[in-house]
Amino acid sequence: MSFRGLDAIDVLRKVFGYDEFRGEQQHIIEHVVGGGDALVLMPTGGGKSLCYQIPALVRDGVGIVVSPLIALMADQVDALTALGVRAGFLNSTQDFEQRRLVEQEFLAGELDLLYLAPERLGVPATQRLLERGTISLFAIDEAHCVSQWGHDFRPDYLGLSMLHERWPDVPRIALTATATPATHTEIAQRLNLTGARHFVASFDRPNIQYRIVPKGEPRKQLLQVLRSEHDGDAGIVYCLSRASVEKTAAFLTDQGIEALPYHAGLDARTRATNQSRFLREDGIVMVATIAFGMGIDKPDVRFVAHLDLPKSVEGYYQETGRAGRDGLPSTAWLAYGLADVVQQRKMIDDSDGDDAHRRQLTAHLDAMLALCETVQCRRVRLLDYFGESAQPCGNCDTCLDPPASWDGTVPAQKLLSTVLRLDRERGQRFGVGQAIDILLGKQTPKVTQHRHDQLSVFGVGSDLTEAQWRTVTRQLLAQGLLNVEGDYGTLVLTERSADVLRGQHTVRLRTEPERRKAAKTKRAS
């Protein structure tokens, strides 16, 4: 099919079969067709692909699409081919002969779109090849991969800044669904796109219901959610470790739910089979590490569940964004607990890189924790993180069942003074468990051995249960009033702890739904 001479709207209708542009698509497309550079920030499912596919068809030459999603290139090219668009790709999965054929098509002007992995573009031979053809535009997909502190950093993306120098007249369009205001600026700078027009769509996904619950027995809690709300639905369950992916997939399978594992430790064939079953069959639950999902276009994912705390709000938003691309009601469900906070702080402590890097990771984690512990609408907080203001949504857990808060200053002081006393025992390191045993006045062997039953704080916390103390600890960690350090998760005070101990800072804690429910039942009986 020839597209030359067609308008953008004709291409939308004749080639893609849609009636109207969505959101900012038309403005973006007109800008790029006219030769302008663009930075496009649009949530997952917003319709980014057409923003470069249509200009590539309307303009002269071949549109070069840089994408890190090698595993999906063949699918994308097949889908375009089925629409009559001439598309090809070059990546490491091809042999020499396959690549040579695509190169010939490119040089002969027989392609409309050519997908390339970023590492290909860095190769001088590829650059020479591109110089011998006519290029209509460069599209840089998943542009946040250029952000060095982001969760998807790809070093090869840094090299893309050279596109502007070598092809100053070819328009570039960078696209991403991840975007805090700070990331926009970073992407524009690193890709040398400082003159580009920014198109920022709303990041709200109104059909997604956000829920964050305290973690008890996460697999059983998940099962309960699936059985009561998502029977037979397709969904993704994210776990932090490969072992926990395997365990969870096995658990769900035992319960009669069709669940498949996906993580980087599985061989490529199993991964490919599981991914394609998830995409093609109905009602499959994919249990995966975050290695799974980028670029996956399955419209009817009805739920995304997290059994472990994501490392950042960006990550959480991306992962939950894979639910409900078709616009129908979907659930984003996250279970999180004290152990998550301790584990993630420890991972940051152990991470490679300098202090600045660790501070970045800590800031990301803190923002995620603030979202978990908020008593406000989740959507308001989430959008606020992306620089958008919104009204309470009426559809998230905190809107539907507003959490109460209570004055936790006294318990906080008790816990912090216990930590202070333990910290004075030079050379000895104690974690959360020991502090709580002391507060509860438990005569465990470890308590007696270290004479912790002699401390003035021994037993002063018997008014709360162990579970409640864990909640208090978690919230103090989340608020930065307490920290953990080292291999054993030793509790340590922070600069701000002193204000609490001196009574200069009131600590507001969120009442856990479980606790409230228990309290209500007690009153009822």
- In angstroms, the CA 413 to CA 408 distance is 9
- Of 19-27, 80-88, 89-97, 275-283, the segment contacting ligand ADP by CB under 6 A is 19-27
Q: Which of 11, 33, 46, 187 touches ligand ADP (CB under 6 A)? A: 46
Residue with tokens 């205001």: 181
Is there binding between residue 122 and ligand ADP (CB under 6 A)?
Answer: no
Please, which of residues 280-339 interact with ligand ADP by CB under 6 A?
297, 325
Is there binding between residue 144 and ligand ADP (CB under 6 A)?
Answer: no
Which of Zn ion, ligand ADP, none has residue 396 at its interface (CB below 5 to 8 Å by kind)?
A: Zn ion
Q: Which of 9, 13, 30, 47 touches ligand ADP (CB under 6 A)? A: 47
Residue 344's alpha-carbon distances to 382, 388, 442, in angstroms, are 20, 27, 28
- In angstroms, the CA 498 to CA 496 distance is 5
How many residues bind to Zn ion according to rule CB under 5 A? 5
- Strand pairing category for 113-116 and 303-306: unpaired
Q: Which of 18, 100, 401, 485 touches ligand ADP (CB under 6 A)? A: 18
- Interhelix angle for 25-33 vs 49-58, to 10°? 40
Are 114 and 90 a contacting pair, CB within 8 Å?
A: yes
Is there binding between residue 399 and Zn ion (CB under 5 A)?
Answer: yes
Are 118 and 66 a contacting pair, CB within 8 Å?
A: yes
| Burial state string for 300-320 with b = 16 or more CB within 10 A and e = fewer than 16 | ebbbbbbbbbbbbbbbbbbbb
Which of Zn ion, ligand ADP, none has residue 379 at its interface (CB below 5 to 8 Å by kind)?
A: Zn ion
Is there binding between residue 44 and ligand ADP (CB under 6 A)?
Answer: yes
Q: Which of 379, 414, 510, 515 touches Zn ion (CB under 5 A)? A: 379
Is there binding between residue 48 and ligand ADP (CB under 6 A)?
Answer: yes
Is there binding between residue 223 and Zn ion (CB under 5 A)?
Answer: no
Q: Which of these, 285, 308, 290, lies nearest to 235 by C-alpha position? A: 285
Is there binding between residue 396 and Zn ion (CB under 5 A)?
Answer: yes
How many residues bind to ligand ADP according to rule CB under 6 A? 14
Joined tokens for residue 134: 């006519």
Q: What angle do CA 22, 25, 30 make, to 5 degrees?
A: 140
- Interhelix angle for 313-320 vs 378-385, to 10°? 120
Let me know how many helices (H) and strands (E) the chain has, helices first: 23, 17
Is there binding between residue 63 and ligand ADP (CB under 6 A)?
Answer: no
Q: Which of 29, 32, 42, 372 touches ligand ADP (CB under 6 A)? A: 42
- In angstroms, the CA 244 to CA 222 distance is 14
Q: Which of 21, 203, 238, 430 touches ligand ADP (CB under 6 A)? A: 21
Q: Which of 33, 45, 170, 234 touches ligand ADP (CB under 6 A)? A: 45
Q: Which of 22, 100, 166, 359 touches ligand ADP (CB under 6 A)? A: 22
Which of ligand ADP, Zn ion, none has residue 293 at its interface (CB below 5 to 8 Å by kind)?
A: none
- At its nearest, how many Å lie between ligand ADP and the CB of residue 12? 6
- Of 93-101, 128-136, 372-380, 475-483, the segment contacting Zn ion by CB under 5 A is 372-380
- At its nearest, how many Å lie between ligand ADP and the CB of residue 51? 8
- Of 14-22, 162-170, 330-338, 425-433, the segment contacting ligand ADP by CB under 6 A is 14-22
- Of 15-23, 128-136, 391-399, 428-436, the segment contacting ligand ADP by CB under 6 A is 15-23
**E strand or H helix that includes residue 436:** helix 432-440
SS (H, E, C) 333-348: EEEECHHHHHHHHHHH
Which of ligand ADP, Zn ion, none has residue 406 at its interface (CB below 5 to 8 Å by kind)?
A: none
Are 187 and 302 a contacting pair, CB within 8 Å?
A: no
Which of Zn ion, ligand ADP, none has residue 248 at its interface (CB below 5 to 8 Å by kind)?
A: none
Residue 320's alpha-carbon distances to 139, 226, 304, 473, in angstroms, are 25, 16, 6, 27
- At its nearest, how many Å lie between ligand ADP and the CB of residue 158? 23
- In angstroms, the CA 252 to CA 255 distance is 5
Using CB under 5 A, list all residues that contact Zn ion.
377, 379, 393, 396, 399
Using CB under 6 A, list all residues that contact ligand ADP.
18, 21-22, 25, 42, 44-50, 297, 325
